[in-house]
Amino acid sequence: MNATLRPLLVLLMLLLLLALLPAARAQQAAAPQLPPADFVAPALPKPEESNAERGKTQPGNNAPFWRAVRESGNSEGFTTLPGVEKGVLIQPFVQYPGSRLTTAGEAWREVRNRWILPYGGALLLIVVGAIALFYWRKGVLGGHVPDTGRRVERFTPFERSAHWANAIAFVILGVSGVVMAFGKFFLLPVIGGTLFGWLTYALKTAHNFAGPVFAVSLIVVFLTFVRDNLPRKGDMQWLARFGGLLGEREVPSHRFNAAEKLLFWGGVFVLGAIVVASGLVLDKLIPGLEYTRGDMQLAHIVHALATILMLTAFIGHIYIGTIGMKGAYGAMRTGYVDEAWAQEHHEWWYDDIKAGKIPAQRSRTGENAPQAATQT
């Protein structure tokens, strides 16, 4: 061989060996290591012995137990508790499109924490901010027509009693629900865990007791005011002009305007029925229902969504009925309004009273009742 080519050949062989050495080591590591021919495998420890040894070296590690629970799926164990699902430790696994395999309970928690709470809380804040902005720019509505001193009865004592019972129960439910859902974000850092725990427990108890009161009073309110909330001529005109709230003069309406009718049918009838039905399920007051975990989780989601929508709708109603409109709170507190208020806010209702189609005094005149308007 040529003397000049020999060193080049040796160098190429060395480079080839260096290139093949890592692959040979990897193959050797991957190859199974066979035990010697005289090797005897020790007996495997029993599961309880393994857990006992793990408990000594890793105290508090219960991962094997929960791994076995998860692998069991929806299998039911033995229990002495009555009712369905009491022997099932975890709910069955579900696979949603585009998401990982999870349990139904984890999916419910994800919907609650990642969708209902953040977006529902944002919606409530937006509505409160919009009302505050409207109050800042528009101020108190009404008061453009001077009072006459003559009064007409807008709400009878029975109507006011039904309304106040429903309103008080609604406020209890709303405040307690907001604290239980969002309190850990704005109250817990301020008052601490101990006081927050006592507060949420008390509010949860009040919530459970106020729920049936709200349900019964809601039915009474619906039956009491349904006749005056039926659609009538002029409602669409009121909606098209948004009641004239952005102008100087309100659009004429009957006893209740179109916005109040929408609130009645959408908020009281539809959302109220959904909130009450789902709340009765959560309180376990519907006979014959098995109350499985899936039933309760679905009822919770429906209840939360309907409640948030109902709160956003009635926040505006509470605003108008308290500080947003002059004389509105007095109408529900005493039952009477001045003729000027009736003419300014519900002109067609006032015209019917003056024409004698509606009595100015519908309940018995008490000793302290204000002077009613004289019918013409």
310: tokens are 């109902």
Residue 244 confidence (pLDDT): 81
Alpha-carbon distance of 49 to 52, in angstroms, equals: 5
Residue 138 confidence (pLDDT): 87
Residue 261 confidence (pLDDT): 96
Alpha-carbon distance of 260 to 44, in angstroms, equals: 76
Task: Give all domains of the chain, ordered by start, each with its CATH number.
Answer: 148-354 (1.20.950.20)
Residue 269 confidence (pLDDT): 96
* Block residue for tokens 């000594």: 56
Q: Residues for the chain: how many in total?
A: 376
Alpha-carbon distance of 110 to 119, in angstroms, equals: 13
Q: Which residues pair with 103 in a beta bridge?
A: 93
Residue 60 confidence (pLDDT): 66
- Whole-angstrom CA distances from 274 to 150, 218, 279 are 42, 12, 8
30: tokens are 């991957």
Residue 144 confidence (pLDDT): 82
- Whole-angstrom CA distances from 299 to 65, 122, 346 are 31, 22, 40
Residue 12 confidence (pLDDT): 56
121: tokens are 């809380």
Residue 139: exposed, middle, or buried by beta-carbon count in 10 A (0-12, 13-18, 19+)?
A: exposed
Q: List the chain pLDDT tens, one digit each, 376 residues.
A: 555 545 555 555 655 555 555 555 545 554 455 556 555 555 444 555 555 666 566 666 677 766 666 666 566 777 777 777 777 777 776 666 666 656 778 888 888 999 999 999 999 999 999 999 999 988 898 888 888 999 999 999 999 999 999 999 999 999 999 999 999 999 999 999 999 999 999 999 999 999 999 999 999 999 999 999 999 989 999 999 888 876 678 899 999 999 999 999 999 999 999 999 999 999 888 888 888 888 899 999 999 999 999 999 999 999 999 999 999 999 999 999 999 999 999 999 999 999 999 888 888 754 445 555 444 3
